[in-house]
Structure 1
C-alpha cells in the first residue's frame, strides 16, 4: 500500500504518506490563547500519521479570528507547544505548525483587549463569526499601513523561529479560506494602490515576502503552503483566481518549498492540475479522499507525494493502522467539532 510507504518532503522525512490535515477544533485556553494538556493528548493520539499539520495558529494577537484558537507569539505559548511537540516525537511522529492570520475574519469579542482587526483594505467581510456571546457580524477592519505590513511579515518570521525552538519539524502558511494572505491576493478584498495592491504582481507581494521571511529562518525545506484557488469561504472573491494562483505558484516555485498543500474544489476547477502546471515540488492533496482514491492518486502521479485527511482523523486517531488492516472507519460527531472539552476530541478510541 503506497499510502504506508515513506516519503521525503524537503527537509521532512515521513514514515508514511497519511497526513493529518489542519483542523480548527477550538480547544485552546481562551485566556492567553494557550495550547494545553487536552491538545497535547489529541495530537499524541494521532502521531502515527506520517505528518501532523496543526490547527491554524495566529502569529500575533492581531491575527486571531476565532475563539479558543492557539497562538505562538510569546514564551508561554512556545513552552506549551514544546510539550505537544515532545509528546508527538515521543510516539515517533512528525508535526508541522500551520500559521494562520485571520485578517478581517474576526470580531473584537474573540480577541485580547487592545488587539486590532487589520486587512489589506478597510473592506469588511460579509457574514458572521461565532463568539462566546453569540454570532456577530465580521468586524470592520483597519487598512494596514506599510509599517503594519512590515510588522506582520516580521510576526510570521518570529512565529517560525518560535516554532522551531518549540520542536516543530516545519511550518505551513495558511493561504486560503479568506484569511489575510488570501485577502491580499484577491481583487475583492485588496483595493490598495501602493506596492501591495493594484496589479497582479503587487497583490502577490505580501504572500511572497511572508514565504521568504519564513524560509529565511532555517531554509525553505521546512516550509509548506496550503492553497485552495477559488475558495469563496469568508466572503472571498477574486476576479480571476486561476490567473492569480498561477502567477503566485510560478513566483513561489524557485523558493524550493517542502511541499504545496492543495485542496481540491471541483466546483471551481481542477486545482490539482493548476498546481501541477505551475509548481514543480511535492504536492499534498486534500479533501474527502477515501483510502482507495488516495491510493489511486499516489499511483497515478509521482508529484502527488501524500494525501491529507481531516474528518477521518478526528474519529480515527489510529487512521494509518485502520488503512493498513482494512478496518472500518468510525464516524465523527459533528455537534462536538468546536465545543470545549474532551468529548468528540480525545475520547474517540482506537480500533479494538
Structure 2
C-alpha cells in the first residue's frame, strides 16, 4: 500500500542545465513543481555521467529547449501524487529513463523497451509537461524525462523502480542505464549462450557491463577492445579472456585467431567507423549488436552480400531489451550477492560542479564511470 505524503508546493533545486541557444552548460537554480497524479518526487542521491548526456552538449542530438541533463540516477522518494500505487515515501528507487506507458501492445507483450507511447524521448513527462521552470517561469525540460543532474526530480511512477535499501546509491545509478543496457545487450538482445564467443568494442561503462553480462552467461572466449589500457585492465579483471587495442591494424585477423570468428560482436561506442567493422569480426551465422548510440542521422556502409551469403545479422539494442521494473531489482540482487561487482565500474566521484571534468573524460575516451552526488 502506498504511503501518501502531502507537499507544500514547488521547491527550488540546483541542476545542471544545457542551453542550446548559447551552447552553455552550467548549474542553475530552478523551480520544481510538486508531484501530481501518478508522479513521484525523488531526492537524487547519485547520478552517473553517460555519453548520451554528452551527445546533447555536443549537438549530436539537437534540441531547441534548455534541458536539465542526466538520466542515470538513484535516490529516495520524498513525496508521491494521489494516483501512485506501487511506490511509497521512503523507498529507495532507481530512475528509468524510458518510462513505459504499461498499456500499449509492446508493454503488454513484456517489451517495455519498445513502448510506442513513452514521452521520454521527447524529454517530457508522460502528459507532455515538464516539472522544471527557470526564474522567468520558462520551461526547462528533463532530459529523457528524468533530468538526474538535479538535487530533486519529479518523474512518473513507472520511472521510479524500488530496490533493496542496502544497494548503494552510486551502484543503483549505474543500474539505471549503463548496467541494464550492457548486461541486457548480452543476456536479452543477443541471447548469448554458454560457450559462445564474443567481442566487445569499446570498454566504457556500457562496454564493461557487456563484459559482465557475457561472463555471467558463460560466454567464452570474451575479447575486449579499447584504446585505454586502464579500461582493458578492468575488462580483464571483470571476465574478458583476451584484450586487444582498437588501433591494432590486424584487429580483425587477431579476433579471428582467438575466436574463429565471433558468434557475437558488440559495439558500445556509437562510432560509424567502428560499427562498420563488426560484420568482419563474425563467423557465418554470427550477429552484430549495436549498443552504443550514434549521433542522429549518422550513416554506415555495410556489405549486404556478406550478410546474406554468410547469414549474419545486425541487431539494434535499446536499453538492453530490458524491463526496468523486472531487471533493476534482479541486477541489484546479483550485485548484493557478489555476482556482479558493479562498484568496480565507478571511476571518479564528485558533485554537480564536476560535470565538465566528466565530459572531458568521455571526449578523451579515458577513465571509468563518473558518479555525481547533487
- Does TM, normalized by the shorter one, top 0.5? no
Whichever structure has more strand as a proportion of its residues is 2
TM-score (normalizing by structure 2):
0.27
Structure of greater Rg: 2
Whichever structure has more helix as a proportion of its residues is 1
